[in-house]
Amino acid sequence: MSVGVSVIIPTRNRRELLAKTLNSARRQCGVVCEIIVVDEASTDETPALLADLAGPSFKVIRHDVPLGLPLARNLGAAQASGEWLAFLDDDDLWAPDKLMAQLRAAEQGGRDWVYSGAVNFSADRITRCEPPSDPNAVAADLLHFNPIPGGGSNIMVRSQTWIDVGRFDTRFQGGEDWELSIRLAKHGPPAWVCRPLVAKRIHATNMFTSVANIVRATRLIETIHETKVDWGRMSRWFAYRHLRNGDRAGAALAWARAAMRGQLFGVIEDVRGAVMRKPADLSVDQRAWRNAAIQWLSALEPAIH
Protein backbone atom coordinates (compact mmCIF):
# COMPACT_ATOMS: atom_id res chain seq x y z
CA MET A 1 0.00 0.00 0.00
CA SER A 2 1.41 3.39 -0.94
CA VAL A 3 2.24 5.84 1.82
CA GLY A 4 0.16 9.00 1.89
CA VAL A 5 2.04 10.97 4.53
CA SER A 6 5.49 10.64 6.04
CA VAL A 7 5.72 12.05 9.57
CA ILE A 8 9.17 13.36 10.59
CA ILE A 9 9.88 13.61 14.34
CA PRO A 10 13.31 14.83 15.50
CA THR A 11 14.04 14.11 19.18
CA ARG A 12 16.71 14.32 21.84
CA ASN A 13 16.48 13.15 25.46
CA ARG A 14 12.72 13.52 25.84
CA ARG A 15 11.63 9.94 26.29
CA GLU A 16 8.49 10.69 28.33
CA LEU A 17 7.26 13.50 26.11
CA LEU A 18 8.19 11.62 22.94
CA ALA A 19 6.06 8.64 23.99
CA LYS A 20 2.98 10.88 24.14
CA THR A 21 3.85 12.55 20.85
CA LEU A 22 4.29 9.19 19.13
CA ASN A 23 0.94 8.09 20.51
CA SER A 24 -0.74 11.06 18.83
CA ALA A 25 1.06 10.33 15.55
CA ARG A 26 0.32 6.61 15.58
CA ARG A 27 -3.40 7.13 16.22
CA GLN A 28 -3.94 9.17 13.04
CA CYS A 29 -7.06 7.94 11.28
CA GLY A 30 -8.00 7.71 7.62
CA VAL A 31 -4.45 8.12 6.27
CA VAL A 32 -1.72 5.62 5.41
CA CYS A 33 1.41 7.04 6.97
CA GLU A 34 4.91 6.17 8.01
CA ILE A 35 6.69 7.64 11.03
CA ILE A 36 10.37 8.56 10.86
CA VAL A 37 12.03 9.47 14.15
CA VAL A 38 15.41 11.19 13.97
CA ASP A 39 17.18 10.54 17.26
CA GLU A 40 19.69 13.32 17.88
CA ALA A 41 22.14 11.30 20.01
CA SER A 42 19.78 10.75 22.93
CA THR A 43 21.44 9.49 26.12
CA ASP A 44 18.25 8.73 28.07
CA GLU A 45 15.81 5.85 27.50
CA THR A 46 14.72 7.13 24.07
CA PRO A 47 16.63 4.41 22.10
CA ALA A 48 14.91 1.67 24.10
CA LEU A 49 11.49 3.22 23.49
CA LEU A 50 12.15 3.41 19.77
CA ALA A 51 13.48 -0.16 19.59
CA ASP A 52 10.19 -1.44 21.05
CA LEU A 53 8.23 0.31 18.28
CA ALA A 54 10.14 -1.06 15.30
CA GLY A 55 8.01 -2.03 12.31
CA PRO A 56 7.56 -1.59 8.55
CA SER A 57 5.88 1.80 8.92
CA PHE A 58 8.24 3.04 11.63
CA LYS A 59 11.81 4.12 10.90
CA VAL A 60 14.55 5.38 13.21
CA ILE A 61 17.55 7.43 12.12
CA ARG A 62 20.20 7.65 14.84
CA HIS A 63 22.82 10.41 14.94
CA ASP A 64 25.93 9.95 17.07
CA VAL A 65 26.11 13.71 17.65
CA PRO A 66 23.28 16.28 17.53
CA LEU A 67 23.06 17.98 14.12
CA GLY A 68 20.37 20.54 14.93
CA LEU A 69 16.64 20.62 14.28
CA PRO A 70 16.62 21.93 10.67
CA LEU A 71 19.15 19.38 9.46
CA ALA A 72 17.50 16.56 11.42
CA ARG A 73 14.21 17.35 9.69
CA ASN A 74 15.92 17.48 6.31
CA LEU A 75 17.66 14.14 6.78
CA GLY A 76 14.47 12.50 7.98
CA ALA A 77 12.50 13.82 5.01
CA ALA A 78 15.20 12.60 2.63
CA GLN A 79 14.31 9.02 3.62
CA ALA A 80 10.54 9.53 3.41
CA SER A 81 8.43 7.60 0.92
CA GLY A 82 5.16 9.49 1.33
CA GLU A 83 3.61 11.81 -1.23
CA TRP A 84 3.21 14.31 1.60
CA LEU A 85 5.48 15.36 4.47
CA ALA A 86 4.36 16.40 7.94
CA PHE A 87 6.75 17.50 10.67
CA LEU A 88 6.03 16.97 14.36
CA ASP A 89 8.10 18.27 17.28
CA ASP A 90 8.75 15.66 19.94
CA ASP A 91 6.77 17.53 22.61
CA ASP A 92 3.65 18.46 20.61
CA LEU A 93 0.39 16.59 19.98
CA TRP A 94 -2.00 16.16 17.04
CA ALA A 95 -5.74 15.64 16.82
CA PRO A 96 -6.49 12.12 15.53
CA ASP A 97 -7.84 13.50 12.23
CA LYS A 98 -5.12 16.12 11.73
CA LEU A 99 -3.47 14.50 8.71
CA MET A 100 -6.73 13.33 7.16
CA ALA A 101 -8.39 16.75 7.46
CA GLN A 102 -5.36 18.57 6.05
CA LEU A 103 -4.93 16.10 3.21
CA ARG A 104 -8.58 16.41 2.25
CA ALA A 105 -8.44 20.22 2.30
CA ALA A 106 -5.28 20.33 0.19
CA GLU A 107 -6.52 17.88 -2.40
CA GLN A 108 -9.96 19.49 -2.68
CA GLY A 109 -8.35 22.88 -3.22
CA GLY A 110 -5.58 21.61 -5.50
CA ARG A 111 -2.97 23.07 -3.13
CA ASP A 112 0.55 21.88 -2.38
CA TRP A 113 0.69 22.84 1.27
CA VAL A 114 -1.77 23.18 4.10
CA TYR A 115 -1.99 24.30 7.70
CA SER A 116 -4.52 24.38 10.54
CA GLY A 117 -5.14 26.12 13.86
CA ALA A 118 -3.59 25.29 17.20
CA VAL A 119 -3.68 25.70 20.95
CA ASN A 120 -0.89 26.06 23.48
CA PHE A 121 -1.14 24.01 26.65
CA SER A 122 0.85 23.75 29.86
CA ALA A 123 0.43 21.16 32.59
CA ASP A 124 -3.36 20.79 32.96
CA ARG A 125 -4.78 23.68 30.97
CA ILE A 126 -4.97 25.31 27.57
CA THR A 127 -3.17 28.63 27.82
CA ARG A 128 -3.74 30.09 24.37
CA CYS A 129 -6.16 29.65 21.46
CA GLU A 130 -4.50 30.25 18.09
CA PRO A 131 -6.65 30.43 14.96
CA PRO A 132 -4.50 30.92 11.85
CA SER A 133 -4.61 33.63 9.20
CA ASP A 134 -6.96 33.11 6.25
CA PRO A 135 -5.15 31.67 3.18
CA ASN A 136 -6.01 34.83 1.25
CA ALA A 137 -3.95 36.89 3.72
CA VAL A 138 -1.25 34.49 4.80
CA ALA A 139 1.30 35.26 2.06
CA ALA A 140 1.36 38.97 2.94
CA ASP A 141 1.22 38.32 6.69
CA LEU A 142 4.16 35.91 6.61
CA LEU A 143 6.52 38.68 5.52
CA HIS A 144 5.77 40.62 8.72
CA PHE A 145 5.06 37.98 11.38
CA ASN A 146 4.33 34.28 11.57
CA PRO A 147 0.52 33.88 11.36
CA ILE A 148 0.67 30.06 11.29
CA PRO A 149 0.49 28.74 14.88
CA GLY A 150 1.97 25.53 16.20
CA GLY A 151 5.49 25.97 14.88
CA GLY A 152 6.93 23.15 12.79
CA SER A 153 4.22 20.75 13.95
CA ASN A 154 1.51 22.33 11.82
CA ILE A 155 2.30 22.46 8.11
CA MET A 156 1.91 19.53 5.73
CA VAL A 157 3.52 19.83 2.27
CA ARG A 158 3.82 17.72 -0.86
CA SER A 159 7.18 15.99 -0.89
CA GLN A 160 7.99 17.29 -4.37
CA THR A 161 7.02 20.83 -3.40
CA TRP A 162 9.31 20.66 -0.36
CA ILE A 163 12.15 19.70 -2.71
CA ASP A 164 11.23 22.39 -5.23
CA VAL A 165 11.15 25.29 -2.75
CA GLY A 166 14.22 24.07 -0.85
CA ARG A 167 14.67 22.28 2.43
CA PHE A 168 14.80 23.82 5.89
CA ASP A 169 17.51 26.46 6.03
CA THR A 170 20.22 25.18 8.39
CA ARG A 171 21.38 28.71 9.19
CA PHE A 172 18.39 28.87 11.53
CA GLN A 173 18.18 27.34 14.98
CA GLY A 174 14.55 28.26 15.53
CA GLY A 175 12.35 30.15 13.10
CA GLU A 176 13.19 27.83 10.21
CA ASP A 177 9.53 26.78 9.97
CA TRP A 178 8.47 30.44 9.53
CA GLU A 179 11.11 30.98 6.87
CA LEU A 180 10.04 27.83 4.99
CA SER A 181 6.42 29.00 5.09
CA ILE A 182 7.45 32.25 3.38
CA ARG A 183 9.02 30.27 0.54
CA LEU A 184 5.99 28.00 0.30
CA ALA A 185 3.70 31.03 0.05
CA LYS A 186 5.84 32.43 -2.77
CA HIS A 187 5.53 29.07 -4.53
CA GLY A 188 1.74 28.99 -4.32
CA PRO A 189 -1.29 29.58 -2.07
CA PRO A 190 -2.06 27.14 0.74
CA ALA A 191 -5.14 25.33 1.91
CA TRP A 192 -6.24 25.43 5.53
CA VAL A 193 -8.34 23.67 8.12
CA CYS A 194 -9.65 26.31 10.51
CA ARG A 195 -9.81 24.00 13.51
CA PRO A 196 -7.41 23.41 16.44
CA LEU A 197 -5.64 20.28 15.21
CA VAL A 198 -2.25 20.95 16.86
CA ALA A 199 -1.46 21.30 20.56
CA LYS A 200 1.87 22.92 21.36
CA ARG A 201 3.22 21.96 24.76
CA ILE A 202 4.70 24.85 26.76
CA HIS A 203 7.35 23.71 29.23
CA ALA A 204 10.76 24.60 30.66
CA THR A 205 12.79 22.79 27.98
CA ASN A 206 11.12 24.12 24.82
CA MET A 207 13.80 24.40 22.15
CA PHE A 208 13.21 28.01 21.08
CA THR A 209 13.29 29.97 24.36
CA SER A 210 16.27 32.28 23.83
CA VAL A 211 15.13 35.79 22.94
CA ALA A 212 18.52 36.43 21.36
CA ASN A 213 17.95 33.49 19.00
CA ILE A 214 14.48 34.76 18.13
CA VAL A 215 15.89 38.19 17.31
CA ARG A 216 18.66 36.64 15.21
CA ALA A 217 16.17 34.49 13.28
CA THR A 218 13.86 37.44 12.68
CA ARG A 219 16.67 39.63 11.35
CA LEU A 220 17.83 36.79 9.12
CA ILE A 221 14.31 36.53 7.66
CA GLU A 222 14.35 40.27 6.98
CA THR A 223 17.65 39.92 5.14
CA ILE A 224 16.80 36.81 3.14
CA HIS A 225 13.35 37.98 2.05
CA GLU A 226 14.03 41.73 1.88
CA THR A 227 11.12 42.53 4.16
CA LYS A 228 10.36 44.47 7.33
CA VAL A 229 9.05 42.39 10.19
CA ASP A 230 6.37 43.78 12.52
CA TRP A 231 8.63 44.37 15.51
CA GLY A 232 5.67 45.47 17.63
CA ARG A 233 4.16 42.00 17.44
CA MET A 234 7.58 40.43 17.88
CA SER A 235 8.27 42.51 20.99
CA ARG A 236 5.11 41.14 22.62
CA TRP A 237 6.45 37.65 21.89
CA PHE A 238 9.81 38.64 23.36
CA ALA A 239 8.05 39.77 26.54
CA TYR A 240 6.32 36.41 26.84
CA ARG A 241 9.64 34.60 26.40
CA HIS A 242 11.35 36.83 28.98
CA LEU A 243 8.63 35.98 31.48
CA ARG A 244 9.03 32.26 30.84
CA ASN A 245 12.76 32.71 31.49
CA GLY A 246 12.05 34.52 34.75
CA ASP A 247 13.23 37.90 33.45
CA ARG A 248 10.49 40.35 34.43
CA ALA A 249 12.64 43.41 33.71
CA GLY A 250 13.30 42.12 30.19
CA ALA A 251 9.58 41.53 29.72
CA ALA A 252 8.73 45.06 30.87
CA LEU A 253 11.24 46.53 28.42
CA ALA A 254 9.88 44.41 25.57
CA TRP A 255 6.31 45.48 26.37
CA ALA A 256 7.37 49.12 26.38
CA ARG A 257 8.91 48.69 22.94
CA ALA A 258 5.78 46.90 21.70
CA ALA A 259 3.56 49.72 22.94
CA MET A 260 5.71 52.29 21.15
CA ARG A 261 5.40 50.22 17.98
CA GLY A 262 1.61 50.30 17.87
CA GLN A 263 0.73 47.37 20.15
CA LEU A 264 -0.55 49.28 23.20
CA PHE A 265 -3.89 47.49 23.49
CA GLY A 266 -2.26 44.11 22.98
CA VAL A 267 0.30 44.93 25.67
CA ILE A 268 -2.46 45.87 28.12
CA GLU A 269 -4.09 42.50 27.51
CA ASP A 270 -0.75 40.70 27.89
CA VAL A 271 0.08 42.46 31.16
CA ARG A 272 -3.36 41.77 32.57
CA GLY A 273 -3.05 38.09 31.80
CA ALA A 274 0.60 37.40 32.57
CA VAL A 275 1.41 39.76 35.42
CA MET A 276 -1.89 40.45 37.17
CA ARG A 277 -3.07 36.87 36.66
CA LYS A 278 -6.40 38.16 35.38
CA PRO A 279 -6.80 36.85 31.85
CA ALA A 280 -9.51 38.45 29.80
CA ASP A 281 -12.74 36.50 29.49
CA LEU A 282 -12.72 34.24 26.49
CA SER A 283 -14.99 35.25 23.66
CA VAL A 284 -17.63 32.85 22.45
CA ASP A 285 -15.37 31.89 19.53
CA GLN A 286 -12.38 31.32 21.82
CA ARG A 287 -14.43 29.14 24.17
CA ALA A 288 -15.63 27.08 21.20
CA TRP A 289 -12.03 26.78 19.95
CA ARG A 290 -10.76 25.67 23.35
CA ASN A 291 -13.59 23.16 23.79
CA ALA A 292 -12.96 21.70 20.33
CA ALA A 293 -9.33 21.14 21.29
CA ILE A 294 -10.19 19.64 24.67
CA GLN A 295 -12.40 17.05 22.99
CA TRP A 296 -9.39 15.34 21.45
CA LEU A 297 -6.54 16.58 23.66
CA SER A 298 -8.02 15.15 26.85
CA ALA A 299 -7.65 11.63 25.42
CA LEU A 300 -3.88 12.20 25.28
CA GLU A 301 -3.56 14.40 28.38
CA PRO A 302 -6.44 13.37 30.71
CA ALA A 303 -5.78 16.21 33.17
CA ILE A 304 -6.29 18.94 30.59
CA HIS A 305 -9.19 21.35 30.96
pLDDT in tens, the chain (305 residues): 466 999 999 999 999 999 999 999 999 999 999 999 999 999 999 999 999 987 889 999 999 999 999 999 999 999 999 999 999 999 999 999 999 999 999 999 999 999 999 999 988 889 889 999 999 999 999 999 999 999 899 999 999 999 999 999 999 988 999 999 999 999 999 999 999 999 999 876 665 557 888 899 999 999 999 999 999 999 988 888 888 778 889 989 999 998 999 999 888 888 876 755 444 456 768 889 999 999 999 999 999 98
Residue 177 shares a structural domain with residue 140: yes
Secondary structure percentages of the chain, helix, strand, coil, to 5: 45, 20, 35
Q: How far apart are CA 299 and CA 195, in angstroms?
A: 17
Residue at 134 is within a domain: yes
Residue at 260 is within a domain: yes
Residue 9 shares a structural domain with residue 95: yes
Name the domain count of the chain. Answer: 2
Give the pTM.
0.92
Residue 278: what pLDDT? Answer: 46
Residue 279: what pLDDT? Answer: 46
Q: Do the strands 33-40 and 84-87 form a parallel or antiparallel pair, or are they unpaired?
A: unpaired
Q: Do the strands 58-63 and 156-158 form a parallel or antiparallel pair, or are they unpaired?
A: unpaired
- Length in residues, the chain: 305
Residue 226 shares a structural domain with residue 178: no
Residue 206: what pLDDT? Answer: 60
Residue 205: what pLDDT? Answer: 66
CATH number for the domain that contains residue 18: 3.90.550.10
E strand or H helix at 5: strand 5-11
Residue 100 shares a structural domain with residue 178: yes
- Coil, helix or strand for 95? coil
Residue at 72 is within a domain: yes
Residue 86 shares a structural domain with residue 141: yes
Residue 246: what pLDDT? Answer: 81
Residue at 79 is within a domain: yes
Residue 38 shares a structural domain with residue 117: yes
How many Cβ atoms sit within 10 Å of the Cβ of residue 16? 11
Residue at 305 is within a domain: no
Residue 175 shares a structural domain with residue 220: no
Residue 137 shares a structural domain with residue 153: yes
Residue 71 shares a structural domain with residue 182: yes
Q: How far apart are CA 203 and CA 277, in angstroms?
A: 18
Residue at 91 is within a domain: yes
Residue 120 shares a structural domain with residue 223: no
Domain extent at residue 235: 211-282
Residue 209: what pLDDT? Answer: 57
Residue 95 shares a structural domain with residue 198: yes
Residue 207: what pLDDT? Answer: 56
Residue 126 shares a structural domain with residue 254: no
